Structure 1
C-alpha cells in the first residue's frame, strides 16, 4: 500500500471520525430508549471509588506499557515523547479504521516518518503484531483451564444454536490466529523465503490469483523485515514478550474494573469476565465498522449483561468513552501536531511510503 501525507490525512477527516461516533452513539441511544422503563440507575449512587480509580489506573498502565514496548521494540530509537505520539496515533488509526483492516499500515508509515528505515518500520510493526497474537493463543488455554471451559456467554435454550455458532466461530478464529502467528514467527525468525513461497503458491490458483500481487508484496515485506531483525538479543525478545503480556492483560482488565465499580463480583467472576472478553474481542476483530462501532455496543450485553442486569447500558457507555471516544479525542489532538513536526513548513510534499521498487530489488 502506498501512503503519503495526503492519503494518511484522508483516513482522519472529520467525516471518517464522525461516522463511528454517530454509529456508536446511535446504538447506545437506542438501547437507552429500549430499556428506559426498566433501567436501574441506583448503582451510580453506590459506586465503589477504589474500582473507579482502578479503571483509570489500568488505562494509564496499559498506555504506558504500549509506550514502553514501542520504545524498546525500536531499540530506543524513539525517545519517550515520540513513543507517546506514535502510540496515540496508532490507537487513533485503530479507532477510525475497520477492525478487519486495523492500523498497522498507518503505524509503519508513522515509524518511517519518524526516521526509521522502511524495513525497520515494517519489522517493528510485524513484531508487535506477532507478539499480540502469541499472547492470545497462550492466554486462551489458560483461561479455559481456570474457568473449566465456561468462557462463552449463557443464553436461553432458544438461542442455543447461536452459542454453538459462536463456539465454532471462536474455535476457527483461534486456529487461524494460531496458524498466522506461528507462520509469522517462522517467517520473521527462521525462513522468510519459504513463507514467501507459500504466499505465492497459495495465490497461484485461479480462485486466489486476484491476491497474487498482494501476496508478492507481503512476501517481500516479510523477507525485508526478517533481515532487519537478525542479531536481535534474548533481552530484546524478552522485553517485547513481557511488555505485550503486560499491556494486553491490562487491556482486558478494564471491563473487570468498570463492572466491579458498580456491582459485587467474586474472584471467579473476575476470571470469567476476563476470559469472556477474549471472545468479545474476536467478535470485534471481524467487525466491518470503524473501531467496531455499533457492533461493540450491541454485543456487549450478550457477554457481560448477566453481571450488570438493568445497569448494562450505562456501563456500555462508560466503557466506550474510556476505551474508544477518549482515543478519538487524544488522536485529534496529537495528529495535527505530529504532521506539523514531521512535515514541517512544506506539508504539500507528497512523500510516499511505497514498496514497489523495494519489492523488485529484493525478489
Structure 2
C-alpha cells in the first residue's frame, strides 16, 4: 500500500477539494440558468418539516450505522471516537477522489495508522467492499420484482436507443460487480494464492504487462487479508451483514425524504424512487470526476425529475449539500485533528500552514 503522510495530505489538498466543488456548483448554476427556475427557491418555505427532519435523521442514522459496522468488523479494536474519525475521513476521501478510485486505499491507511496491522486493515476494507457489493447484488433483483420493471427512467426526451443502452449498460455493470464480488469472496475465503496467480498470468501478456507490478501487489494484499479472516463466527458475519443492509438502506433513502418533503408520494412511489437510486449509483460509479461531481447533478433529473418537475434543480442542490458538500466540510475539520493525533510531533512545520488552512 504505497501511501504515507505526505501522499495522504496531497490527496486532501485544498485544490483537490475545490475542484469538485467548482464542477458541481457550476453544473447546478447552469441548470438553474437553463431552466430559468431560480424563482423556485422561494418555495423552500413550503417544505414539510417532518420529511426535512427525517432527512437529517436518516443521515445521522446512516453514519451511526457505518461507525458501528467498522467498529464491529475491527473487533472493537477501534474505539467509538476512532471509528468516527475513520468514517468521516473515508467519506471525505470518497468525495475528493474519482468514483472509480473510491476511498478504499486511503481507508486502509487510516485504519492502519489507528494501530491495526496492515494485513488486518486491508482485510477489513476488503470485507466492507465485498459486503457493499453483495447488498447491491441482492437488492437489485428484489427492487425489480417490486417495481415490475419500472426501475429504469422513461424520459420522453431520450431516444429509444439511449433508453435501451442504459439498460444494457446497467446489466453489464451488474454482471461485472457480481464477477468482482465472487472473485473477492473466492480470494478472501477459499484460495487467495490462485487468484494472485491469475492476476499475474493475465498481466503477463501484451499491453497488460504495465499493470503486472500492481497486480502482484494487489494479489499479495489479498493473501495477507485472507490470513486475517479465518475463524470468525457466524455472529460476527451476521452482524456485519445486517449493519450493511441498515447503512445502505438509509443511504438510499435520503432522496426519498427530500422528494417527500416537497411533493406528495405514496408507498409505490417510495419503492420506485428507492429502486432508481440503485441504478443512479451505478451511473456514478463510472464518473471520472472527484465524488462524481457534475455527473451526479446532470443524471439526477433523468432518474427523479418525474416527481419534481421544475423543482428538480433545487432538490439536486439540497441533495448534494446533504450528501456531498457536508462531508467535504466535515472532512476538512476532522483531517487536521486526526493527523495531529496520529502523527503528533512527526508533522513537519512546513505542513502546518496547509493543515490549518483546512
Same fold (TM over 0.5): yes
Residue deviations 1:244-287, cap 9 Å, x none? 11000000000000000000111111111001101110111110
2:195 aligns to what SS in structure 1?
A: helix
Contact in 2 for aligned 1:152/1:279 (Cα 8 Å) = yes
Q: Write out aligned runs for 1:238-249 (5 A).
A: 238-249=238-249
Contact in 1 for aligned 2:151/2:275 (Cα 8 Å) = yes
What TM-score does the superposition give when structure 1 sets the normalisation length? 0.94
Q: 1:58 to 1:38 in 2, by over 3 A?
A: closer
Q: What CA distance in whole angstroms lies between the structure 1 residues aligned with 2:109 and 2:37? A: 49
Contact in 2 for aligned 1:32/1:313 (Cα 8 Å) = yes
Aligned-pair CA distance for 1:167: 0.6
Q: 1:37 to 1:213 in 2, by over 3 A?
A: closer
Q: Write out aligned runs for 1:184-333 (5 A).
A: 184-333=184-333
| Matching residue of 1:61 | 61
Q: What CA distance in whole angstroms lies between the structure 1 residues aligned with 2:43 and 2:234? A: 48
Contact in 2 for aligned 1:39/1:310 (Cα 8 Å) = no
Aligned-pair CA distance for 1:35: 1.3
Q: What CA distance in whole angstroms lies between the structure 1 residues aligned with 2:340 and 2:303? A: 43
Q: Write out aligned runs for 1:65-84 (5 A).
A: 65-84=65-84
Q: What CA distance in whole angstroms lies between the structure 1 residues aligned with 2:283 and 2:153? A: 13
Aligned-pair CA distance for 1:40: 4.0
Q: 1:37 to 1:28 in 2, by over 3 A?
A: closer
2:207 aligns to what SS in structure 1?
A: coil
Q: Write out aligned runs for 1:10-159 (5 A).
A: 10-36=10-36, 40-41=40-41, 43-156=43-156, 159=159
Q: What CA distance in whole angstroms lies between the structure 2 residues aligned with 1:7 and 1:40? A: 43
Contact in 1 for aligned 2:71/2:80 (Cα 8 Å) = yes
Contact in 1 for aligned 2:192/2:226 (Cα 8 Å) = yes
What TM-score does the superposition give when structure 2 sets the normalisation length? 0.95
Q: 1:264 to 1:42 in 2, by over 3 A?
A: farther
Aligned-pair CA distance for 1:42: 6.3
Alignment gaps of 5+ in structure 1: 350-363
Q: What CA distance in whole angstroms lies between the structure 1 residues aligned with 2:44 and 2:51? A: 13
Aligned-pair CA distance for 1:162: 1.1
2:283 aligns to what SS in structure 1?
A: helix
How many correspondences in the alignment? Answer: 349
Contact in 2 for aligned 1:85/1:334 (Cα 8 Å) = yes
Q: 1:77 to 1:37 in 2, by over 3 A?
A: closer
